[in-house]
A and B are shown apart, each in its own frame.
Chain A
Amino acid sequence: MAAAKPRVAVHKFSSCDGCQLAFLNMGEDLLQLASAVELVHFIEAGLVAEDASVDIAFVEGSISTPDDHARIQNIRDHCQYLVTIGACATSGGIQALRNMNDAKAWTEAIYAQPEYINSLDKVSPIKEHVKVDLELWGCPVSSQQIIHAVRDLLLGVLPAVENDKLCMECKRNANVCVMVTKGQPCVGAMTRGGCGAICPHMGRDCYGCYGPAENPNPDALATHLQGLGMLPGSVARRLLFIHSAAPELNSTGVSWQGMEEGTSE
């Protein structure tokens, strides 16, 4: 008797849908994946079973409304292994930039009838609400990251996650360092690899979309960026970007933001 296929769900919260495309852009690998596992819930692919019990739940997006909070708890209750995919789910993502501002005033500026907009004061990553078993970083995550995670889980081993700095991957790919040779404000030195070092490969600076690496040193990097001629406010914005809510980056970024305010006329 063949063993039952593992059941997989893909859920979405506040996001751009780009990480779910890591599944849909797999090409023919998608059909292979669909034969290796049972895809139970994946709205973007037309499968709807929000409350079904599954072995692996992939979660895209961040929590930004009271309903979201209840939903993620329900998902946690119905899955064995919860994997966040992408920046929004893992650190809060780009929309967490609103946490440092008055989102309520923004709502009033954008919407004519702000009373109809129901959102929490803060955008937060999934791990602030439920236990997360595995985090796949990246904005967006790649198909390879998903395939590796599923394969490792199918084999019964703990998935290996890239924690190293992007600089390591960049060197392995034999890219020329854009910071050393062009003085670009590259943040690869504090950023996790796994993207293929595509930015330095194109001769441009990494802007940190894969999130903080293991043991990052954003303070030293920020000082170095200032040494390249950047003003404190620009340094702060460099740190507070795709992963502004990640604690490793947030405190340094906020302190540089304070320096900008201190120096402004």
Chain B
Amino acid sequence: MTTHNIKIRVPALARVEGEGALVVDVHEGEITHLQLRIYEPPRYFEKFLEGREYTDIPEIVARICGICPVAYQMSAVQAIESIFDVQVSQWVEDMRRVMYCGEWIQSHSLHIHMLAAPDFLGFNSITEMAKKYPAEVQRGLRLQSIGNKLIALFGGRSVHPVGVRAGGFHHAPNVDEVTKLLKEIDSAVDEAADLLRWTGSLSLPDIEQSTVYVALRNETQYAINDGRIMSNTDVDLAASEYTNRFSECHVPHSTALHATLDGKPYLVGPLARMNLNFSELPENVQTILAEIGIRFPCHNMFYSIIARAAELMAALLEAQRLLGDYKPETPYVDVSPKAGVGYGCTEAPRGILWHRYELDDNGRIVEARIVPPTSQNQARIEEDLRYSLTEFGLDKDEQDLRLHGEKVIRNYDPCISCATHFLKLELNRQGYSEQAINALSERLTAGDTITILGVGSPVHGDTLGQEVIALLKKQGVFDNNTNVRLKSLERPGMNVVEEIRQAKCLLIIDAMQGDTTHDGVVIVRGNELVGEASVSGSHELGVADAISLADSLGLDTENVLIIGMLKGDKAAWSNSDVEHVVNRLEALVAKIQS
């Protein structure tokens, strides 16, 4: 009997604890298990909020994320205002949209230039990229700074801004400040257009996959802080109805909760928004996208970088339009607290951000719930990784697999605290790999014989090998395949060594002990067993011993595959066990001979 698991552990690129790691188990060329682990320690925001005054909410929730504090403040005040029955003025709505545009510009530019573009152009960091692409990097930094200035215009600073309150803003910017910033915006519009064209010129992988896209939608304008929750399927909900279809669950490997739509993964963020709201984009953005040759809806996640650049340009044009005729107005309406439950949902740079608050008579928080975009995309990221890594080739070098995994994850721009440039990959490849099969078929020339050798012992009920050979013969599986030879060995011993010496390709069927696999079948290459001693096998000389011996004798063990079935506690092999191995063998032989 043989026990063998192939486990490849890739050490972290750097030892960065408390962050993200990717675990992939590969069994016979298929991913059997994949986890994106998020280790960001829990920070308990929903609990801090309990018992505090509603006026603290914008300051507290901003601190969930330094990159998208405006989104948190906007979803929060929307919920509070709905409880207090407050209708903010058109001016407040417009200016909130401008401030939110600032955050989109800032966040998208940060993502494109600091994280994504260095990836696609083969640099480790923006400072490295700046040496080769100084003009592009400086353009990016300028755009990012305009985004920051737009936030600071209303919030005093761009990280954890202090200007947003229930009912409006604490303060209206004066005309001079706005005029000065508007000049910068005017001269940046062309730069944003160039950026969009530039992202269109990047060489991006061409992989399409279908998923469900979820975003806010609003018939009158590209939805940011108003609209219904819609999808490309049948979702059409008010913020208050979110939990009718969406639910969150805690998966053990992550401190981020996973949200699903009817129990299935879905996508939020720029690509989802573009796919749902393309027609609401400014015309010149649509024109440039047509020039680049990208059609929406678009099902290639790698085009997310283009979607971000398009939204960046759209946000800049929106800010330009809304500030064009700026006059300060009364920045807020007074609010008076009352008890109730309220919901807020807005489009954070990374996708919809949903809040629910229950307040008491004094406006103090009874309960808070927040569903951020990154936890909504979690399940979708794992689904994408399964697909994209398989397409990429699971037998590729670990380093390449890790880099590709990072790129895939980066398309979702998970909050940076949730991992990326420093992804740990734990790759467990078990059983045969595509590479082993390919190597084997390359070594064979047409007409070479494949020997299928069933080994076992009549005592101990260890008869799987013989039973499989008997069934193969009975069913006549390989009757028309003259290059396949079937042989059964009782008490294999030295005979196995002899078979290894003679055969061009040897498939050994045996019972095994070991960890459970998804269907109980384990396939191992012979040369990987060299040096493994068999554990109290029922044969005089175990298969692993025979292989080690053959290796010592200078024989080639690379053409040997051991196909084992785990016996576990079973007293005897059932017919379905034997049939299962026969089916697997048929597929395996076809693969080797192809």
B-contacting 9-mer, from A110-118, A157-165, A215-223: A110-118
**CA of A140 to CA of B157, assembled, Å:** 9
Q: Is the pair A139, B160 in contact by a Cβ cutoff of 8 Å?
A: yes
Given known pairs A16-B64, A17-B417, A45-B126, the reply for A203 and B158 (CB within 8 Å) is no
Contacts of A49 in B (CB 8 A): 14
Q: Is the pair A25, B170 in contact by a Cβ cutoff of 8 Å?
A: no
Contacts of B66 in A (CB 8 A): 15-21, 140
Q: Is the pair A46, B41 in contact by a Cβ cutoff of 8 Å?
A: no
Given known pairs A17-B417, A97-B48, the reply for A140 and B15 (CB within 8 Å) is no
**CA of A111 to CA of B43, assembled, Å:** 12
Q: How large is the interface on B (under 10, 10 to 19, 20 to 34, 35 or more residues)?
A: 35 or more
- Residue B159 interfacial (CB < 8 Å): yes
Q: Is the pair B159, A140 in contact by a Cβ cutoff of 8 Å?
A: yes
Cβ proximity bits A104-137 to B, threshold 8 Å, 1 near / 0 not: 0011011111001101000000000000000000
Closest approach, in angstroms, between the C-beta of A224 and any C-beta of chain B?
18
Q: Is the pair A27, B250 in contact by a Cβ cutoff of 8 Å?
A: no
Cβ proximity bits B391-421 to A, threshold 8 Å, 1 near / 0 not: 0000000000000000000000001110001
Specify which of B118, B125, B252, B253 lies most central, judged by the most chain A CB atoms within 10 Å of its CB.
B125
Q: Is the pair B141, A28 in contact by a Cβ cutoff of 8 Å?
A: yes
Contacts of B53 in A (CB 8 A): 234, 237
Interchain CB contact (< 8 A) of A203 among B123, B148, B170: B170
- Residue A153 interfacial (CB < 8 Å): no
Contacts of A25 in B (CB 8 A): 106, 144-145, 148, 158-159
Work out how many contacts link A and B, with CB atoms closer than 8 A. 190
- Residue B263 interfacial (CB < 8 Å): no
**CA of A49 to CA of B12, assembled, Å:** 11
Q: Is the pair A116, B162 in contact by a Cβ cutoff of 8 Å?
A: no
Given known pairs A18-B159, A112-B249, A201-B156, the reply for A106 and B44 (CB within 8 Å) is yes
Interchain CB contact (< 8 A) of B127 among A18, A45, A106: A45
**CA of A195 to CA of B155, assembled, Å:** 13
**CA of A43 to CA of B16, assembled, Å:** 9
Given known pairs A45-B127, A196-B156, A234-B53, the reply for A18 and B416 (CB within 8 Å) is no
Contacts of A113 in B (CB 8 A): 250, 252
Given known pairs A12-B417, A65-B18, A202-B170, the reply for A17 and B255 (CB within 8 Å) is no
Q: Is the pair A142, B41 in contact by a Cβ cutoff of 8 Å?
A: no
Closest approach, in angstroms, between the C-beta of A201 and any C-beta of chain B?
7
Given known pairs A16-B417, A34-B127, A46-B124, the reply for A101 and B163 (CB within 8 Å) is no
Contacts of A58 in B (CB 8 A): none
Which residue of chain B lies nearest to A34 when distances are taken between CB atoms in the complex? Answer: B127
A-contacting 9-mer, from B55-63, B429-437, B452-460, B490-498: B55-63
Contacts of B52 in A (CB 8 A): 237
Which residue of chain B lies nearest to A197 when distances are taken between CB atoms in the complex? Answer: B156
Contacts of A43 in B (CB 8 A): 16, 19, 416, 421-422
Q: Is the pair A31, B130 in contact by a Cβ cutoff of 8 Å?
A: yes
Contacts of B126 in A (CB 8 A): 45-46
- Residue B379 interfacial (CB < 8 Å): no
Q: Is the pair A31, B44 in contact by a Cβ cutoff of 8 Å?
A: no
- Residues in B13-59 with C-beta less than 8 Å from chain A: 13-19, 40-44, 46-48, 51-53, 56, 59
Closest approach, in angstroms, between the C-beta of A13 and any C-beta of chain B?
7
Q: Is the pair B170, A110 in contact by a Cβ cutoff of 8 Å?
A: no
Interchain CB contact (< 8 A) of A139 among B18, B44, B63, B421: B63
Cβ proximity bits A185-226 to B, threshold 8 Å, 1 near / 0 not: 000000000011011011110010100000000000000000
Contacts of B118 in A (CB 8 A): 46
- Residues in A19-33 with C-beta less than 8 Å from chain B: 19-22, 24-25, 27-28, 30-31
Cβ proximity bits B99-115 to A, threshold 8 Å, 1 near / 0 not: 00000001000100011
Which residue of chain B lies nearest to A46 when distances are taken between CB atoms in the complex? Answer: B125
Q: Is the pair A44, B159 in contact by a Cβ cutoff of 8 Å?
A: no
Interchain CB contact (< 8 A) of B16 among A50, A112, A199, A204: A50
Cβ proximity bits A28-70 to B, threshold 8 Å, 1 near / 0 not: 1011001000010111111111110000000000001101101
Q: Is the pair B47, A98 in contact by a Cβ cutoff of 8 Å?
A: yes
- Residue A251 interfacial (CB < 8 Å): no
Interchain CB contact (< 8 A) of B42 among A24, A71, A111, A202: A111
- Residue A94 interfacial (CB < 8 Å): yes
- Residues in B122-153 with C-beta less than 8 Å from chain A: 123-128, 130, 137-138, 141-142, 144-145, 148
- Residue A84 interfacial (CB < 8 Å): no
Which residue of chain A lies nearest to B163 when distances are taken between CB atoms in the complex? Answer: A202
Q: Is the pair A18, B48 in contact by a Cβ cutoff of 8 Å?
A: no
Q: Is the pair A204, B171 in contact by a Cβ cutoff of 8 Å?
A: yes
- Residue A103 interfacial (CB < 8 Å): yes
Contacts of B40 in A (CB 8 A): 14
Interchain CB contact (< 8 A) of A95 among B13, B44, B69, B125: B44
Contacts of A30 in B (CB 8 A): 127, 141
- Residue B65 interfacial (CB < 8 Å): yes
Contacts of B257 in A (CB 8 A): 111
Contacts of A27 in B (CB 8 A): 141-142, 144-145
Contacts of B125 in A (CB 8 A): 39, 42, 45-47
Which residue of chain B lies nearest to A112 when distances are taken between CB atoms in the complex? Answer: B250
**CA of A198 to CA of B144, assembled, Å:** 21
Given known pairs A21-B66, A103-B44, the reply for A203 and B56 (CB within 8 Å) is no
Closest approach, in angstroms, between the C-beta of A28 and any C-beta of chain B?
6
Which residue of chain A lies nearest to B118 when distances are taken between CB atoms in the complex? Answer: A46
Interchain CB contact (< 8 A) of A39 among B43, B127, B157: B127
Interchain CB contact (< 8 A) of A18 among B51, B60, B63, B106: B63
28 A-B Cβ contacts within 8 A?
A: A12-B417, A16-B69, A17-B65, A21-B66, A27-B141, A27-B142, A28-B142, A30-B141, A31-B127, A43-B416, A44-B114, A46-B421, A47-B124, A65-B17, A65-B41, A94-B60, A95-B43, A97-B44, A98-B48, A111-B250, A116-B252, A139-B160, A140-B66, A202-B162, A203-B170, A204-B171, A242-B59, A242-B63
Q: A49-B14, A110-B44, A237-B56 are in contact. List 10 more A-B contacts (CB 8 A).
A: A17-B65, A46-B421, A50-B14, A106-B47, A112-B249, A112-B250, A139-B160, A140-B159, A202-B163, A241-B56
The 3 closest A-B pairs by CB, nearest first: A18-B66, A198-B156, A46-B125
